[in-house]
Chains A and B, each alone.
Chain A
Amino acid sequence: MASVNTNSPKKKTKNMTLHKKDAISGYMFIAPALISFLVFVLYPVIASFVISGFNWGILGTPKFIGLENYKTLFNDPVFIESLKNTFKWVIIYVPFSILVSLIIALAMDMPLRGIGFFRTMFYLPVMTPMVVCALLFVWIYNTEFGVLNYVLSFFDISAIGWLSDKRISLISIALMSVWKHSGYNMLILLSALQGIPDSLYEAAALDGITPWRKLIDIKLPLIMPSMYFVVLTSVIDAFQVFTEVFIMTKGGPGYSTHTVSYYLFANAFEYGKMGYACAMAVVMFIIILVVTLIQDKIMNKNVQYDS
């Protein structure tokens, strides 16, 4: 990524002024973005860490209390529950959604007709606003009048409280989320699959390879870099799940769908506990950072195939 300077010593003086000119124009070009970044990203990140050390309400003077917010946080049963639910969400949602994306991408990486049509269809939920998807599934999941329970009744399955049963409400929302988001990762994985050179398959065909071995020995290893990207971004997004929970269950029933983002939002904008909410944000930030670094360690080991 780095650009290389290839100045000979003689040209140095002329290059110096050129360099200066370049430096000035470079900074002028990035100035709006850089200032915006400092004001709206870097400053808020630092401020979040600072505010998390205060008892900071909507009204009244903030009082510095050190790590007190963090102590309270890990003794707050609702936060612990929210944290558990968030991990549960990541563990259910990410593998399932990536598996679905991968299976569809593999199916589409065949010489079939109508690929364009399928691609259009599968991306439709991704474009659809989350609020619309969430409201739609509230209706579909309705225990008494929902179409899903009606369809299941043909198979002698009695009515399920998709969103009202504590044991499955989180899973129900996750299923909706898989339905909505899988098309995105599918497109990325599909483009990786289509980037595999035909010559590799031809060579493999000469060896009389089975489709199964082709999948395991050629396709999967070669799409590892894209898989790495897909897993990483999906995990980061999954840790922040908010809108679907907010619309579909408001964190309920009980605390069964409280996630960290949801509880954080409630603390900041409903109870006005800004310092406490910032402490949650910091904890979430650190968790995402650590999880990302661990994934990087594990997955980069497997991404060494490209020569």
Chain B
Amino acid sequence: MKQSKKSIVLSYAILAFATLIVLLPFFWMLVSSFKSQRELFAYPPKFLPSVWKWENYKQVLSAGSISFFQMFLNSMKVTLPVVVLNITFSSLAAYAFARINFPFKNFIFMMFISSMMIPAAVVMIPRFMLFTNLKLVDTYWPLILPSAFGTAFSIFLLRQFFMTIPKDLEEAAVIDGCGKFRIWATIIVPLSKPIIATLSVFLFQGTYNDFMGPLIYLNTDTKFTIQLGLASFRNSFATRYDLIMAGSMLALIPVLIIYIVCQKYIVKGIVMSGLKG
């Protein structure tokens, strides 16, 4: 296929420009995190720090009321249960929606799907009251429970994938007298590793990056997650952009690692979620 040279050149120009716009802020975060206070507020600003100040990182690790390690641990206490439980229960439901006939199946499925457009604000306050009555405010339960037993988006994504698995694979198992649960556990789940990887990344990112949930439910600063800790850190050190940027870099590292390792799954997942069901 012949492409006109002009459009190729134009495309490269657009992409180069966009890459610059995307990367420069990250670059600025990196260099700012290594600058001394004085260089940070120097005018005209220097692009590279004259001395790379690693102390900023040392300082930020323990500068807030709790250490960054503790905040990271707290984030994981919420994130890991959500990822594991959500995928387990979502895939059970998704399997039923993909393969089993039961009354009101389509109705229930459509109910799940349409719930994705409900704004978070509409469920926020009654949920908060519910957890207040259960005396679970200032614990991690309100952050874990609502997404632990399966959520519409996960169920939708898994169902889409399960529908593409050929049915013959299960029929052999049925003849052998396998129950539905065993088919799910021994055939469906192992075949769905790619989509499970994708979903894990989405759930990890969504939960780890969440700010509003921890903001509503966590009061004690030793329980803060990274996002909440970072935001409150900024309230106590408003002008210490060196430390704020160093803290931001640290908060970015876990998602960065996940991103680098799981890139191909992310692209696949987005493509799938963009297809109409």
Cβ 8 A contact of B101, one of A26, A122, A124, A261 = A26
Provide the residues of chain B in CB contact with A131, threshold 8 Å. 209, 211, 227, 230-231, 248, 251
B117 within 8 A of A: yes
Provide the residues of chain A in CB contact with B155, threshold 8 Å. 33
| Shortest distance between the CB of B145 and any CB in chain A (Å) | 7
**A36 and B18 form a contact (CB under 8 A):** no
| Shortest distance between the CB of B256 and any CB in chain A (Å) | 7
**B101 and A111 form a contact (CB under 8 A):** no
**A205 and B2 form a contact (CB under 8 A):** yes
Cβ 8 A contact of A145, one of B43, B92, B230, B244 = B43
Provide the residues of chain A in CB contact with B166, threshold 8 Å. none
**A130 and B209 form a contact (CB under 8 A):** yes
B100 within 8 A of A: yes
CB contacts between A and B, total, < 8 Å: 280
Cβ 8 A contact of B125, one of A27, A205, A274 = A274
Task: A137 to B21: give the CA distance in the assembly, Å.
Answer: 13
Task: A144 to B103: give the CA distance in the assembly, Å.
Answer: 64
**B119 and A281 form a contact (CB under 8 A):** yes
B189 within 8 A of A: no
Pick out which of these stretches binds chain B: A40-48, A63-71, A72-80, A91-99. A40-48
Q: Please encode chain B, from 67 to 80, with 1 for each CB lying within 8 Å of some chain A CB and 0 for all others.
A: 00000000000000
A192 within 8 A of B: yes
| A112 touching B93 in the complex, CB below 8 Å, given contacts A36-B149, A137-B25 | no
B23 within 8 A of A: yes
Please classify how large the interface on chain B is, using the bins under 10, 10 to 19, 20 to 34, 35 or more. Answer: 35 or more
**A104 and B15 form a contact (CB under 8 A):** yes
Task: A247 to B4: give the CA distance in the assembly, Å.
Answer: 46
**A118 and B15 form a contact (CB under 8 A):** yes
Q: Please encode chain B, from 92 to 126, with 1 for each CB lying within 8 Å of some chain A CB and 0 for all others.
A: 11011100111101101101100101111111111
| Shortest distance between the CB of A166 and any CB in chain B (Å) | 21
**A110 and B92 form a contact (CB under 8 A):** no
| 7 extra A-B contacts, CB within 8 A, seeds A2-B106, A112-B8 | A39-B130, A51-B129, A110-B7, A132-B29, A135-B245, A145-B43, A211-B6
Can you list 21 A-B pairs, Cβ within 8 angstroms, ordered by A?
A: A22-B102, A25-B96, A29-B92, A37-B112, A37-B152, A44-B125, A47-B129, A48-B122, A103-B14, A118-B15, A122-B18, A130-B209, A131-B227, A136-B25, A147-B45, A183-B22, A211-B4, A247-B231, A269-B128, A281-B122, A285-B121
Q: Which residues of B contact A (CB under 8 A)?
A: 1-4, 6-8, 10-12, 14-15, 18-19, 21-23, 25-26, 28-29, 32, 40-41, 43-45, 89-90, 92-93, 95-97, 100-103, 105-106, 108-109, 111-112, 115, 117-130, 145-146, 148-152, 155, 180-181, 184, 205, 208-209, 211-212, 215-216, 226-227, 230-231, 234, 241, 244-245, 248, 251-252, 255-256, 258-259, 263, 266-267, 270-271, 273-274, 276-277
